[in-house]
Copies of this chain bind each other. A is one copy, B any other.
Amino acid sequence: MAVESSPRRRADAERNATAILDAGLECLLVDPQTSMTAIARAAGVSRVTLYSHFPTREILLEAALERSVAEAVHALDVEAGDAGPADETLARLMRSSWQVLDRNFSTFTAAAAALPPDVIRDRHDRILRPVRDLILRGQQEDAIRRDLSADWLVTVVYQLMHAAAGEVQAGRLTSAAAPDVLTATVLAALRTRGGQQ
């Protein structure tokens, strides 16, 4: 045990953290009850190495989710910081956040199935904060409709993004076509009527 948890072991495990997360996610998507032993085997590490980083499946899943959320928040922050018209910024934001969602869809799916709703809701709120701020700005600038609440419009954006991801997973929409379809739908739903001409 002293040997297994030595600094060298831990350094190895850290170097492999991404590989462990990737392998673990893949296992958990196939079977949410995959044993830690099977995950260690899939990642090519010892069980002790695995446990030193991720004591439980839930912690592994939360770490994978955290990695994807950080990527999404970064992408959204970059786009939302744009000072241009809110509806145009929203269109760009939809496209870049679609790329993040498309790359991380399996993580979000596995996390949503296994983690407690309050954990999902917290990450979800963090991701959507820049979208909400942008919608509020758009409403002030009269680029985004004001007859519906910003909270509802954020929900609309979120649900339509997840709907598009679901359609891609089901093979009814291509990943290449999704950003255009999404943007056309979301802008029509959110823009003020004048803005739709």
Contacts and interface: CB of A to CB of B under 8 A. Distances in A.
> Size range of the interface on A?
20 to 34
A185 interface: yes
Interface of A: 145, 147-148, 151-152, 155-156, 158-160, 162-163, 166-167, 172-173, 181, 184-185, 188-190, 193, 196-197
B185 A152 contact: yes
Nearest to A189: B189
Contact of A184 (B147, B155, B158, B181): B147
As for how many copies of this chain the complex holds, the number is 2
Contacts of A185: 148, 152, 156, 189
Contact of A193 (B152, B189, B197): B197
Contacts of A156: 160, 163, 185
Nearest to A145: B188
Nearest to A182: B152
Contacts of A181: 148, 152
A190 B185 CA distance: 8
Given A156-B163, A158-B163, A188-B196, 15 more contacts: A145-B188, A148-B184, A148-B185, A152-B173, A155-B163, A156-B160, A159-B159, A159-B160, A159-B163, A160-B160, A185-B189, A188-B188, A189-B189, A193-B196, A193-B197
Contacts of A173: 152
Contacts of A167: 152, 155
Contacts of A196: 188, 193, 196
A193 B196 CA distance: 7
Nearest to A152: B181
Contacts of A162: 159
A173 B151 CA distance: 10
A147 B196 CA distance: 14
5 contacts: A151-B172, A156-B185, A158-B163, A185-B189, A189-B189
